[in-house]
Amino acid sequence: MKNINKKLQILLLLPLIAVQIKCGSSKSTASNSGKAESWITTTDETSKLKKQPDLVFNSDANSNQTILVDASQKFQTIEGFGFALTGGSAQSILKLDKAKREALLQELFSRKNDAVGLSYLRISIGASDLNETVFSYDDMPEGQTDLKLEHFNLGPDLKDVVPVLKEILAINPKIKIMGSPWSPPVWMKDNGNTKGGSLQPKYYQVYAEYFVKYILAMKAQGIVIDAITPQNEPLHPGNNPSLLMLAEQEADFVGNNLGPAFKAAGIKTKIIVYDHNCNKPEYPLTILKDAKANPFVTGSAFHLYEGDISALTKVHDAFPNKDLYFTEQYTGSKSSFENDLKWSVKNVVIGSMRNWSKNALSWGLANDENYKPFTPGGCSTCKGALMIDQNQNIKREVGYYIIGHASKFVPEGSVRIGSNIAGNLHNVAFKTPSGQIVVIVENDGTAAETFNIKYNQKQISTTLNAGAVATYVW
């Protein structure tokens, strides 16, 4: 009888034990056992986003440099990490047979297994310079206009960008998408050319309606455009396609036409201004100081082909209620894996995050072995994160690892938290929605560094080679 009672007690306790075990579970097994997981990419390419043996937290005193992580210091909430899905990128991906394409898109956009979890994409409104041909959504014969936009259609995007986006959305329905135009339709411009020129003021209102039509046309395809910029690189009219749009012109367009058009149509898509280099913070500041434009503007976007990443903080400090975005940086065919890894992780990922950006995007997602397609006069040295050749071989280039060190571990909704830069160890820290701590470190020195990462009175000690990048998670 005693044995029966004991068995009965054990049976009654089993569900309670199971609940306790379940409640104590977490995504990271390391954090439950006083350990941190780590992934490393080295400049010699012997390790590429490769998982390392777990590191054990301890309280031992040492003389190492220390990165102190402070979760009580909270900064911006992160919207995502990713790339531009150019028309050329979509074409390259569509070359793959269905099974190979599905496997690649799962690896890029899901959060399962070894996926890198890309969570933000930028696409061009009309053609960018990484399209095969130049087009807008309302091209007309020379000398003709279309003031009612009766000929508006998504054109070539329906053959490549839209189908690929639909496959991506099936994997990650919450992915954020930003649209940016390289040029309006030629008939709206003062030079009658896809390259350069300015938008004629008499077409400001019809161009605002062009944006409305674009957002609604994409919505009809099941694609929500979260944000737009009025013009990609408005101070670079030398690309093909391109447009010169001065700060005062963009302020006028946003305040008097684009913002009111969105409001009238009930469109919630964010308007993000500037979308160009860090050397001209006065450009977005001019727009944000404009009384008519300001209420319609969510934030400002930056690239880093010129200037210093700290320009984002200058704009943040002047308008702390407006958001910051980092929307483009290319990796070049003539640069080395080592140089691009070091520079881009330090500036584009760590630098943008430490200067209030809510995202970090690299340029093209994919191209072929000849860095094509690109428009006549477009970028011939832009290297995608993926190289997909004619035989459907996929090579993961440096851009994949630059962004992957963040996107794989820092999902949308994560918050940047406090961490100090220790000597050559540039870093940024986050707390994810599930409560994990993520620290990305780049050793910008010329020798290996042994250091600590300290959190809540305990620390891990580790070594990182010169130029190497690591992500630590617990």
Residues of the chain with pLDDT > 70, as a percent, come to 93
Contact 86, 374 (CB under 8 A): no
**Res 113: pLDDT:** 87
155-198 residue pLDDT tens:
999 999 999 999 999 999 999 999 999 999 999 999 999 999 99
Phi, psi of 250 (to 5 degrees): -65, -40
Average of per-residue pLDDT across 397-417: 98
Residues of the chain with pLDDT > 90, as a percent, come to 93
Contact 368, 388 (CB under 8 A): yes
383-402 residue pLDDT tens:
999 999 999 999 999 999 99
d(CA 87, CA 180): 13
288-340 residue pLDDT tens:
999 999 999 999 999 999 999 999 999 999 999 999 999 999 999 999 999 99
Average of per-residue pLDDT across 218-225: 98
101-160 residue pLDDT tens:
999 999 999 999 899 999 999 999 999 999 999 999 999 999 999 999 999 999 999 999
**Res 424: pLDDT:** 98
At what angle are helices 98-109 and 87-94 packed, to 10 degrees? 130
d(CA 412, CA 409): 10
Contact 319, 273 (CB under 8 A): no
231-289 residue pLDDT tens:
999 999 999 999 999 999 999 999 999 999 999 999 999 999 999 999 999 999 999 99
Q: What is the mean pLDDT of the chain?
A: 94
386-416 in b/e burial notation, b at 16+ Cβ within 10 A? bbbeeeeebeebbbbbbbbbbbbbbbbebbb
**Res 52: pLDDT:** 98
**Res 267: pLDDT:** 98
Report, in angstroms and rounded to the nearest whole number, the Rg of the chain calculated over CA atoms: 24
DSSP labels, 152-166: ---GGGGTTHHHHHH
Determine the length of the chain. 474
**Res 308: pLDDT:** 98
CB-facing half-sphere around the CA of 313: CA atoms within 13 A: 9
Say yes or no to pLDDT of 28 above 60.
Answer: no
Nearest of 123, 203, 128, 195 to residue 162 by alpha carbon: 123
**Res 32: pLDDT:** 53
Say yes or no to pLDDT of 4 above 90.
Answer: no
What contacts 365, CB < 8 A, 6 or more positions away?
83, 84, 85, 86, 89, 93, 108, 121, 384, 385, 386
Phi, psi of 3 (to 5 degrees): -65, -40
**Res 245: pLDDT:** 99
Residue 392 CA to chain centroid, in angstroms?
26
* 3-state SS, residue 215: helix
Say yes or no to pLDDT of 33 above 80.
Answer: no
**Res 235: pLDDT:** 98
Q: Please report which confidence band the pLDDT of residue 6 belongs to, taking 50, 70 and 90 as the band edges.
A: very low
Higher model confidence: residue 1 or residue 39? 39
Q: Which amino acid belongs to residue 142?
A: E
Average of per-residue pLDDT across 74-83: 98
Centre a 10 Å sphere on the Cβ of residue 45 and count the other Cβ atoms it contains.
12
Whether the CA torsion 69, 75, 79, 83 is positive or negative: it is: negative
The secondary structure element, H or E, covering residue 287 is: helix 282-288
Q: Please report which confidence band the pLDDT of residue 433 belongs to, taking 50, 70 and 90 as the band edges.
A: very high
What contacts 128, CB < 8 A, 6 or more positions away?
84, 86, 87, 180, 182, 232, 241, 378
**Res 112: pLDDT:** 92
